[in-house]
A = this chain, B = another copy of it.
Amino acid sequence: MLKAPDHQVAGHQAHAGKLGPLVDDSGRFYKPLQSDERGTKEAAFYSSFSSNSKIPTAIRRFFPTYHGTQLLEASDGSGMHLHLVLQDIVSNRLDPSVMDIKMGSRTWYPQASEDYIMKCLKKDRESTSVPLGFRISGLQTYESEKLGYWKPDKKVVQDFTLEDVKSTLKRFVSSNPSSNAEPDCLLASIIYGGSDGILAQLLELKAWFEDQTIYQFYSCSVLMVYEKAGVGEEGFRSRSGAEVKLVDFAHVMDGEGVIDHNFLGGLCSLIKFLSDILVSSTNRSKAEGDLKEQPEEIENDAKA
């Protein structure tokens, strides 16, 4: 049984009779090939990547598994349509929190048409891509059974400023994302931090990007995924499943012996934001820990 994905936060969606991706209950994600050259290019990328022996095994985990292409009834009812068959990244997750971050301060590439370049440049300048080296394309973060997900509207996300991005990266790992109060970043140490948290994974990706000259990943996204289920319970760390994946390869170019400094620059910028959040949340918990340990001294100081 194919259906529209429950946890898609960006891109074309298969709702209301439109063409969009589908998922089945075996953990596969069917992405319709875009009819222009983008579709062909994305299929070519997956095919090249999955057979390229120069990709380190440790790096493959950051890419969805590719199962070829398949003709399927399109979600818009327009008949049979070729789909990429990919791993459904959130298939085995309960209440996944997901953020889609489009990487690079430049989403255009020199070989593109002048129209396309100008269209991308406009979007890059109007969004945080130019100043920050990335922009948030969409997100949802699970708040509670009662409140469900915090999922800002697409239009709101499009207009994110630098301050909105900072705040959203905090809210994404807070127990109170939808609140007007300061985000508490309670999950930062578990989701962003830790030996296999988001930051550790991004740093692994960064080391590869400092060296690889095989591909240039224009307009590609970093997905950050985790599960809040079980927060506060023993063993949560292992069950949060904080995970980084790269998606959207319709504009991947040959590296031609040059590193992807555009993606890498944005990645370093994202890493710096997450590190800062982690450091300040760690400092805060430490300060709070100190407060709890030495309440009398603090009180005495206050009286002195």
Contacts and interface: CB of A to CB of B under 8 A. Distances in A.
Contact of A261 (B133, B257, B259): B133
Interface stretch (A170-178, A184-192, A228-236, A266-274): A266-274
A131 B125 CA distance: 19
A256 B269 CA distance: 12
B259 A272 contact: yes
Contacts of A105: 106, 261-262
Interface string A251-288: 00000111101101110110110000000000000000
A105 B129 CA distance: 14
Nearest to A133: B261
Interface size class of A (residues with CB under 8 A): 20 to 34
Interface in A98-150: 105-106, 110, 121, 125, 130-133
A208 to B, nearest CB: 12
A272 B210 contact: yes
A265 B266 CA distance: 8
Interface of A: 105-106, 110, 121, 125, 130-133, 162, 166, 210-211, 213, 256-259, 261-262, 264-266, 268-269, 271-272
A125 B110 contact: yes
22 contacts: A106-B106, A106-B130, A110-B130, A121-B121, A131-B258, A132-B258, A133-B258, A133-B265, A162-B256, A162-B257, A210-B271, A210-B272, A211-B272, A258-B269, A259-B268, A261-B265, A261-B266, A261-B268, A264-B264, A264-B265, A264-B268, A265-B265
A43 B66 CA distance: 55
Nearest to A266: B261
A8 B162 CA distance: 40
